Structure 1
Amino acid sequence: MAKPRARVAAYVIRHRPDPELLVFDHIGMPEAGTQVPAGGIESGEGPEEAVLREIAEETGLLTATAVRQIAVENRAHPDTGQPRRARFVHLQAPADTADEWEHHVLGEGDDAGLAFACRYLPLPSKQPLADGQDAGGGSGRKGQGRWCAAPRGRGWRPGTPACRGRRPARLVWAVRADRAARAPARSS
C-alpha cells in the first residue's frame, strides 16, 4: 500500500462581529472552485510550518497565527485515487486584514505564475468550497462531513467509535468554542 501524501488545509478565521473564513479563487480558472489555502507538507517540514507556508504562497498573508489542529483525515485524492492524510488547522488573521485582494504566486512550485482572488466569507458559509473543504472533513458530498466532536488531543479524529452515528462537526463549531474560551468571564 502506498504511503499517504501528507497535506495541510488552512482554515484562517478573521474575527469580526461574525467570524469570516479566508478563501480564494483561481483568476481565469473558475472550474477550480473556491478554496481554502492547502497543499503538501514538504520533507523536513512540520504541519504548522507547512500550513503557514501554504497561506503565504497562495494568498500572500503573512500575519496568520496557528490556533490548533481541528482534524486529521485519511482519504484518497478525488482525481488520482492516491492516498492522502490531511491535517486541518484553525488559524487566526488580524481583524484589520483587507477584505479582498489579488495575489500572484512567485517562485518555482506548482502554483508559480497563478493569480488568486482572495477574500473572506462569513461563517457559516452558504457557498460550497472545492474538494468538499466545507464539509467538515471533505467527504466529497456537500454538507456531509466525516468529523465529529469527539475530542482527541487538540483536535478531532474521524471514524472513531465515539464518532459513529453522530452529527458532523463543522469548522464554525471550533470557531464558536474558541470565541467562548476567549470571552471574559461574566460576573453575576
Structure 2
Amino acid sequence: MSEASGVRADRGRDRDTEGRARNARPRDGLGRPLPYGAQGVARQPEGVVRAPLDSVTEAQALLDEGKPFHAHEVFEDAWKSGPDEERALWRGLAQLAVGLTHAARGNTTGGARLLRRGAGAVHAWAAETGQDRPYGLAVAELLVWAEELATAAEQETTPVDARAWAPRLRGEQS
C-alpha cells in the first residue's frame, strides 16, 4: 500500500482501502498519469464535502495554479454532495474545468465540446432558477469565457496555457 495515496496493489491493479480499483500513479498538474515513482503533484482529495462558497474559492485557487483537472474534482464533489436542485450547476462547472483540461492537454476538439456543454448546462440552470450570480459566480462572464476558449482551442495547433486561460469564477474582481 502506498502510504501517501492509501492505495494498494492487488493482482496488478491498484485498489483503495475498500478494495475498489483506484489508480495510484502520480499525476501531473493536468491530471495525466505519470510513471510509478515519478514526481507528480499532490492529488486533490475526492469525496470532500465543502460549503458552496468554499468550493468556488478552492476551485479558483486551483485554476489560478494551472490545475483545472484538480478544480474539476472540487466541482465534482459539490455536484455529488450538494442538493439535487444544484447538481446541474456543479456538473456544468466541472465540465468547464475538464474542457480547459482537455484544451491544455492538446485535445482541442474534446476541450471545445466540453466547454460548450458545460456552458450550456450552467446557462440552462441559471435560466431555470433565475440566478445569475449563485455563490458569487459570474455566470454571464463564465459563458463568454467558455465560448472564447472553445473558439481559441479549435484554432490552436498547440495546447492552450491552462494558467493563462483560467477563468475568473467571480468575475474580474475575484
Instruction: State the TM bucket, normalised to the shorter chain.
Output: under 0.3
TM-score, scaled relative to structure 1: 0.26
Bigger relative contact order, structure 1 or 2 (CA pairs below 8 A, ≥6 apart): 1
Q: As a proportion of its length, which structure holds more strand?
A: 1
Higher-helix-fraction structure: 2
TM-score by length of 2: 0.27
